[in-house]
Chain A
Amino acid sequence: MPYITEQYRDLNSLMHEQKPGYGTNGYKHLESIMTLSERLGNTQDILDYGCGKSTLAINLGFHIQQYDPAIPKFAAEPRPADLVCCTDVLEHIEPYYVDEVLDHLQALTKKACFVVVSTVPANKTLPDGRNAHLIQKPAKWWMDRLWDRFELVNFQLLDVEFQAVLAKQSSRGK
C-alpha cells in the first residue's frame, strides 16, 4: 500500500540530505512522550512515524522503531507498537494519501497514538516552490478524520498546531 508518491519521497530524501535542520523536531515533544510511555506501563515499544533525523530516538535512551519512507534505513514497513508518535508529520503528507496514512497509523497502534499537527503554512518551501506543509487545515478537519479511527484521550489546541493523544478503538470499528 503506497503512502507517498515516488516523486515526493525522492524530494523529501533530497531535503533530508541537503538540509541539516530538516526533520529534526522529533525531540521537542520528549516530555509528553515520556509521560505517555510511563502511563502505558513504562513501555519501550514505541514507533516514531516519520522519524526524520532520529532526534526522538537519540533522546529517548532506549531502542525504538523508526519509520520514514524518505530515509532508506527507516523505510521498511514497521511493526505495530504500543505507542505510535507522529509529530510534525501529517501536515507534510500528500493530500491524496491522507486516508491511507491515517489508516496506517490506526493499524500500527496497539495502545495509543500521539499526534502533533501544524495548522498553518510552514516557513520552508520545497525545491519545487510549494509550501512544505502540503496540508494546511484547521484542527477540526483533522479531528473529524481521526475520530473515525481512534478514541480521543486528550486534545490541546495551540496557536499554530494541535496535539492529541488518541487511544486504539476498543470495539467500534471504522
Chain B
Amino acid sequence: MGKNKQARGDDRLQRVAEALADHRTVDWDRERAGAGDVDAQAGLDRLADIARLADAYQADWHNVARAAQERAATATGTTPSPPVAAGTSAAAPDADEPAEDAPPGQMPAPSPAWHWGRLVVHERIGTGGFGEVYRAYDPNLKRDVALKLRRAGDSAGLEKSLDEARNQARVRHPNIVTVFDCAVHDGRAGIWTDLIRGETLQHCVETRGPLSAREAAAIGIDLCGALAELHRTNLVHGDIKPANVMREKGGRIVLTDFGSALDLESDADAGARPVTALSVAPEVLRGGRPTAAADIYALGGLLFWLVTGSYPIDTDDIDELMTRQARGERASLAEKRTDVLPEFTRAVERALASDPAQRFGSAGQMQSALLASLDLVPVPDSPPSTPWWHAFTRHPWRVALGVAAAGAAAAALVLLPARLPAHAEARLFRDRSGKGQQLADGDTVQAFDQLFLELKMAQPLRVWVLDEDNEGRAYVLHPTQPGAAPRLPGKQALRLPTGLQGEEANWSVARDGAAETILVVAARQPIEALETTLAALPRVNSEGANDFAAVGAARLTRGIDGLVSRPKPADHAGTIAGLIRDLERAPGVWTWRIHLVKREP
C-alpha cells in the first residue's frame, strides 16, 4: 500500500512538473487536496516554491529591463512617467522613480516584493476606501499590471470585486482601462488591470492648475466616447471624478475604477455604493437609481472642475449640498472663467442641469456639443491653399478629435492616424448680411432669421437635414426631392440649402412655434429606415421656392416652414427622435442636433 501510495504521489509530482515545464498554470490547492500522502504534499510544496522562484526570476528580468529603460529616459532628458495604477483613487507620482543617486551601472534598489497568487507584487501605488493598489508583475502575461486588492477580512468585498471585474470586462474601449483577471488569495479579493503610466486628472490640476477649456473639451470628448460605450452595454460608471480618470503618458485619457459601476439590468442595491458626493447628480443624492444621465451630470461636474479647480457646488456639508442643488444654487462657469469658449460653457451647464431631462440625451450628444465647442476647422495655422482635411492629417491631436465625432466605429482610426480621417462636420450659421454667425445648441433665433448649414466631409456622404419644432412637427430640409439622398462630394466645404439653380440660398425661420431643432444625418450608405420615415414628411420646397423680400435678390430663400402647409403635430416625432438616437450609435453615420429657442422679433 505504501509503495502504491508513493507511486501515485510520484505520478502526481511528475504530472505537475510537466505542467510547469510547459509553462502551464497549476491549481496548487486542487493538487494538494488530491495528494493525500504527506510526502507527496511536501513535494508539491517544494514544486510550488520552485515555480514561485521561477516567477521571481522572470520578474527580475522584467524589472531590470524596465528600470534601466526608465533610467535611460532620464539620462536623455525625457521624463519617465511614474506608473499610477488603474483603479486607484490616489495618484502616486513618485512611487516608481528610479533613485537619482544610484551609481552608474548599478540598479536602483527595488522595493521588496511578495507574492499574491501568481502575481509578484511590488510597491503600493495607491490607496482607497476599498483597499490598496499595487504595481505587480504577471508572469503569465509577462507584463506589469495594476493590482487592486481589497482589504483583508472584507468578506462582503469579495463578491463586489468579482462584480466589478465582470462589469469592467464587458466593456472594451480605448478610453476605458482593460481588466485582465480577478481572483481571491489569502482571503483578499483582487483585480488586475492594465497599468496606466501617467497621472490622474486630479493630480494634474492640483499640481499644475486648471486646464484650458480646449484641453478640458478634448478630455470630455474622449470620456463621452467611453461613457457611450458603457451605456450601450447597460452599465453606468457611477463615480466619474478627476481621481478616476488617468492621463497616460502620450495623452490617452483612460476611465478607471469601476467599483461603483451599476449594471442597469441586474443590480438593485444602487444606493449602497460609495460615491463622491460633489460629483453626484441631485436625483441620485436624493436616493434615486444612478442612470446614464447621472454619469453625464458627473462628467459635467468633472469638466467644470478641470477648468476651475472647484465643483459647481463646493461644500463639505452634504445637507447644504442637497439644499443648494434643490434651489439650483451653483456657481456659474461663465462667471468663474470668463475666458472659456461660450460653447464649452453651454455644454457643461447643460450637462449639469438639475433635471435629468434637460441634460444631453446621450453621451454622444454631449460629445457632439464638445466637438462643436472646439471649432475644429478651419485650422488656423494651415495655409489658405491647404485643403482642410490635410490639416487634420498633419495634426494628430486634431485627427483624434475629428475622428471622435464618428463615435465608437471610428475609434480604430484614432490608433491609425496615418489614414485619412473619416471626418465629417456640420455647422449651422445665421446669415448676417452675407456673413455667417455660427449657432450653437441652445442659441436663440427669431422669425425671418436666415439660416444655412456648412458641411465639411472627408469623403462623399449622403446627407439628410430635418427640422422639428417643439410641437413635434417635422419637415425635411434636405434633400429637397423625395427618394434616396444623393451623395454630396467630400473634401470641400458645402453649403445647404442650394437654390433651384444651384445658387446660394437660406432657410428662413418661421413665425410660429417656440423652438426648433435642426437634425443633420450624414452616412456613407443609404439608410432605409430614415428614408422610409422621411418619405411621409413634408419637404420645404415641395410647393416651390419662397422669396421673402427681406432677402437679397441674389439669394433664394426657403422658409423652414415657408411654403408648405403647417403639418399637424406629427406622429413621426417620437419615431424621428428614436431613429436619430439609434443612428448616433451606428457605424459610418454622423449625427448632429442643434436646438434653437425662438423669441419674438
**A interacts with B:** no
Q: Using a CB–CB distance below 8 Å, which chain B residues touch chain A?
A: none
